[in-house]
Amino acid sequence: MAERTTYLLVDGENIDATLGVSILDRRPEPQERPRWNTVLDFAESAWQQPVKGLFFLAVPHELPTSFVQALIAIGYRPVPLRGEGKVVDIAIQRTAEALVERDGDVMLVSHDADFAPQLERLAEHPHRRVGIVGFGEFMAGGLRDVPGAEFFDLEYDVAAFKSRLPRVRIIPIDEFDPLEFL
Residue 167 has a pLDDT of 83
Q: What is the mean pLDDT of the chain?
A: 93
Residue 166 forms part of a structural domain: yes
| pLDDT at site 171 | 79
User: Strand, helix or coil at 109?
Assistant: strand
Residue 113 has a pLDDT of 95
In a domain, 106, yes or no: yes
Statement: the pTM of the whole predicted model exceeds 0.75: yes
Q: Is the pLDDT of residue 170 over 80?
A: no
CATH number where 168 lies: 3.40.50.1010
**Nearest-CA neighbor of 133 among 20, 32, 7?**
7
| Helices and strands counted in the chain (H then E) | 6, 6
pLDDT value of residue 150: 97
The one-character DSSP state at 110 is: -
Rounded to whole angstroms, the Cα distance separating 102 from 118 reads 14
Assign 1 a pLDDT band (cuts: 50, 70, 90).
Answer: low
19-53 per-position pLDDT tens digit: 999 999 998 888 889 999 999 999 999 999 999 99
**What percent of the chain stands above pLDDT 90?**
80
User: Regarding predicted confidence, which is higher, 41 or 174?
Assistant: 41
Average pLDDT over residues 7-19: 94
Per-residue model confidence (pLDDT) at position 2: 61
The answer as to whether 127 is a domain residue is: yes
Strands ordered across the beta sheet of 51-58: 76-81, 51-58, 6-11, 105-109, 130-134, 150-153
Of 116, 160, 118, the residue nearest 142 (C-alpha): 116
Does residue 3 form part of some domain?
no
User: How many distinct structural domains can be found in the chain?
Assistant: 1
Residue 134 pLDDT class (50, 70, 90 cuts)? very high
Residue 2 lies in a domain: no
Compute the distance between CA of residue 164 and CA of residue 173 in angstroms, rounded to an integer.
18
54-101 pLDDT, tens digit each:
999 999 999 999 999 999 999 999 999 999 999 999 999 999 999 999
Residue 44's φ and ψ, nearest 5 degrees, are -65, -45
Structural domain including 74 reads 8-180
DSSP H/E element including 75:
none
Contact status, residue 115 vs residue 89, Cβ threshold 8 Å: yes
pLDDT greater than 90 at residue 15? yes
